[in-house]
Amino acid sequence: MNISLKLILGLACSFSLLTAAEQVPASIDVVADDAAPVVSSSSTESVASVADTSKTTAQPSPMVAQESPAQISGAPAPTQNTPSQTRMVIQSKPEPIVIRVPAKQRNRQAIIIEKDAPSRTDVRALRNYYPIELNLAVSASIGSAMFLNSDFDMPDFSGLFWNAGAVVIFPLNDATVGMTAGVLFRSRTASAVLDGSYNNDRYRFSQMSIDLPLFFKFKGARSRLAFDTGVQMSINFYDKLEVASGTTSAEDEYDLMKASYRAPIDWSLVGGFSVLINHRVSFNMKFLFGISEMYNTPQVQSISSDFTPVEASMGVVVNIL
């Protein structure tokens, strides 16, 4: 009875030892962390000596499998192996290897770059300070024109004119004195009716020229009002006289430039004022008085040609640069 009990206990012990020898290899877990990698492993080998079973029986039981230690969990072979002793290696379950990898954190904070916005506040305008600045502008004017005749027996001629072109305004100091120069195209007409012995004949002059004004500009530093004065040279290239009789509608046309009656260049004095509306637009009024002879002959088609041109106009100047 005691021998059978010992045999059963020995078989149970051998089976448990064989089961414990077959273990699962160590596992590796990767955990994201900011710390440095930490690797831990432990492996313990315990060598158990199985009690000598020779006390109970001289020969090992055929039911107990005897395996060499080299076949169990890769343990090294013992130096001696007797039939009465079985050497077994027990390997405990290793702890998992934990590798901590620093997690990548993206910087999602918005980067704000502050820049100085250009100021649109004109400090000089806030102080009512209006300087004369260098500007390229377009100019246009319209007004009335008169040819004053020195012969009191002859009527004066009246009509309209307009001009347009480009002017340059440049300062001579910061805010009080400047100059204006330009190139303008001008068209002018003037007509009159001669009654009495002239049988109500109608006369009309049609003229075109290129005007080259040169003005001085004077103003106060804190004033929008400026006064202009200067001279103007006119290069004439077109002048025709149309004559119509009072009894007929037919008109006779005479080319005064081709006949060399018209002077090629006229000189005039110009004065006026301008008002600054804003930094781009200004309004002006001009008055012109001719100081040169318009015609080289005292009479043109039986009328006195001793004319003095006079003009009054209003216009606008727009700065483009």
Is 109 domain-assigned? no
Distance CA 145, CA 286 (A): 12
Shared domain check, 172 and 68: no
Supply the DSSP symbol for 37.
P
Last residue of a domain, one of 82, 99, 116: 99
Is 307 domain-assigned? yes
Shared domain check, 177 and 236: yes
Shared domain check, 132 and 95: no
Full DSSP string of 219-274: E-TT-SEEEEEEEEEEEEEEEEEEEE-SS---EEEEETTTTT-B-SEEEEEEEEEE
Is 107 domain-assigned? no
Shared domain check, 192 and 59: no
Residues 6+ apart with CB under 8 A from 20: 90, 91
Is 105 domain-assigned? no
Full DSSP string of 271-312: EEEEEE-SSSEEEEEEEEEE-S-SBSSSEETTEE--EEEEEE
Q: Are 210 and 227 in contact (CB under 8 A)?
A: no
Shared domain check, 221 and 146: yes
Shared domain check, 269 and 166: yes
Shared domain check, 249 and 170: yes
Shared domain check, 90 and 33: yes
User: What's the CA angle centered on 239, arms 234 and 145, to 5 degrees?
Assistant: 65
Is 198 domain-assigned? yes
Is 84 domain-assigned? yes
Q: Are strands 157-171 and 177-194 parallel, antiparallel or unpaired?
A: antiparallel
Last residue of a domain, one of 80, 99, 118: 99
Distance CA 43, CA 71 (A): 19
CATH number at residue 215: 2.40.160.20
Residue-by-residue pLDDT tens, the chain, 321 positions: 566 677 777 777 666 666 555 544 444 444 444 444 444 434 334 333 433 444 444 444 444 444 444 444 444 444 444 455 556 656 666 677 766 666 665 656 666 666 655 555 556 655 677 889 899 999 999 999 999 988 888 889 999 999 999 999 999 998 899 999 999 999 999 999 887 655 678 899 999 999 999 999 999 988 999 999 999 999 999 999 998 876 666 678 899 999 999 999 999 999 999 999 988 999 999 999 999 999 988 888 888 888 999 999 999 999 997
Shared domain check, 151 and 263: yes
Shared domain check, 164 and 61: no
User: Which runs of consecutive H residues, i.e. helices, occur in 101-198?
Assistant: 123-126
Beta bridge partners of 178: 171, 217
Shared domain check, 269 and 161: yes
Please choose, from the candidates 234, 181, 177, the residue with its C-alpha nearest in 3D space to the C-alpha of residue 210: 234
Is 104 domain-assigned? no
Domain coverage including residue 222: 128-319
Q: Are 316 and 138 in contact (CB under 8 A)?
A: no
What's residue 245's pLDDT?
78
Distance CA 155, CA 116 (A): 69
Instruction: State how many domains the chain has.
Output: 2
Give this prediction's pTM.
0.59
Shared domain check, 244 and 166: yes
Distance CA 5, CA 65 (A): 18
Distance CA 198, CA 84 (A): 167
Is 112 domain-assigned? no
